[in-house]
Homo-oligomer: A and B are copies of this chain.
């Protein structure tokens, strides 16, 4: 674990949105817990991938032997905050066999006929899997709130429903890791401009992104309410400074690695008689 040396300090407590946390004024360019350069950060990300891969394989292997635990990584952030990059560069380093990815867009008419958690429940990770939500049930108290898509009392009730839903997941063995990728308004401007400058990036741009940007402060307030009401002891929010993509990736990798390590899993024991099977194999 050479690479882990690059963390000067455990970043989790530094990134956790605890009681009294304030998003406003937080530095989106900081690198809490990591004093190294971009080059060192990228090297650490690559070096840690092997351990993350091994831990994921143990998670998967144990699910074949009645261990029903799983991980759910919830990714939120403003447009261009880097959610896709986390999926590609952090989640992408583990075996696709053990990943369940779900991306939540604007709800369809069919989805809108149901409770807001209906479409979400269909994608919670099964035993042994790392589930990844690119946007999530939190959109219903973010866009939902900012765009007044539901009455205020309905929005208010949703925070409680979300906490209950996540408690339920945890009771069934799912570790919930909630990450908000925090970019500054200036950084977003640059990233959206790049999408408009490069024809190979047009597909990532949507005029709605500018509508949302025009409501930047309202969205920041809605995120603050999310942290105030749903950053629980068992499923806290982590706010990751994300102006530096390399730092955000390294930090999310670390949170995922910690979640996996905390499962304390070993390789499953053989459920067959090894010698007996060896003897059978010899005869073939």
Contacts and interface: CB of A to CB of B under 8 A. Distances in A.
B203 A284 contact: no
State the main secondary structure of chain A at its contact with B.
helix
Contacts of A134: 97
Contacts of A103: 97
A35 interface: no
A196 interface: yes
A92 B185 CA distance: 34
A171 interface: no
Interface of A: 61-62, 64-65, 84, 87-88, 91-92, 94-97, 99, 101, 103, 132, 134, 185, 189, 192-193, 196, 199-200, 202-207, 210, 213-214, 216, 267-270, 272, 274, 277-278, 280-281, 284
A195 B219 CA distance: 53
A203 B96 CA distance: 18
A103 B268 CA distance: 20
Contacts of A207: 272, 277, 280
Contact of A65 (B61, B88, B203): B203
